[in-house]
Structure 1
């Protein structure tokens, strides 16, 4: 089994959004001008790694998933906020467990807020990794002679 990388975690989050919200565009790391709403923008925030013991490390991946709803008509801002809170409810449910390399990552510290007409859904995926070591070179053959004194 290969190592779980930062890009693999980000790609797994994007894949989970794609599977659970078909028909909604998803952008990663860079959002282009003229994007079509509704859409998600997945931002991987600071990632940290802390050594625990020996080759074992704790990795913390923080995400800010932006949701841009369809632009509200004049006087429909209240309904747009309700729609974003409904989307947040769905995100709490769908982003709790995200598949990665045949296993599941559990979302932690989930929270959301609406800022300037955009839903920000925050979630952390934290897990332990073990750094692989290079195998020690094998020894050559050795001949041993022995005798017993009598």
Structure 2
């Protein structure tokens, strides 16, 4: 679920910031800065129209700067760049926000998408039709 979306997020971050390492869901021990950490913060599944499944996913893209003495400025600039340039083809991003706390930038957003369920073919039972008619 959402693997295409995660691939699109990684591709867009790489396009905007090719020099920044990207991690998903967890930072490894001894991670390299500057770095982005892409985390799914919330997932909601529901029913859509026509046998589809509807999903709403929330993401937090955290940015860890490597510029000692200029961390807040770096976070502010990355946040503005994400607010202006972070768009994903085929997905509508809602509620984009950028905020820095304790030297870490948090860029958050939500997206919704639907997936068509595979419906097994329902076969109709054959019913015999009586064609014996009485003639008067």
Could you say whether these structures have the same fold, taking a TM-score greater than 0.5 normalized by the shorter chain as the test?
A: yes
For the residues of structure 2 that align with 1:18 and 1:138, how far apart are their CA atoms?
Answer: 52
Q: Counterparts of 1:98 and 1:125 in 2: how far apart (Å)?
A: 10
Contact 2:58 2:110 in 1 (8 A): yes
CA contact (8 A) 1:43 1:64 kept: yes
Corresponding residue for residue 98 of structure 1: 88
Question: If the length of structure 1 is used for normalisation, what is the TM-score?
Answer: 0.75
Q: Which runs of 5+ in 2 are unaligned?
A: none
TM-score by length of 2: 0.82
Cα deviation, residue 138, structure 1? 8.0
Runs of 4+ in 1 over 4 A off after TM superposition: 137-140, 144-150
Aligned with 1:105: secondary structure? coil
Equivalent residue, structure 1, for 2:59? 63
Is 1:130 aligned to residue 116 of structure 2?
yes
**Paired positions, count:** 135
Q: Could you give the per-residue CA deviations for residues 88-143 of structure 1, whole angstroms, max 9, x where no partner exists?
A: 11111232x213xxxx1121111121111000100111123332212234889xxx
- Answer yes or no: is the 8 Å Cα contact 2:83–2:98 preserved in 1: no
Residue aligning to 2:100 = 114
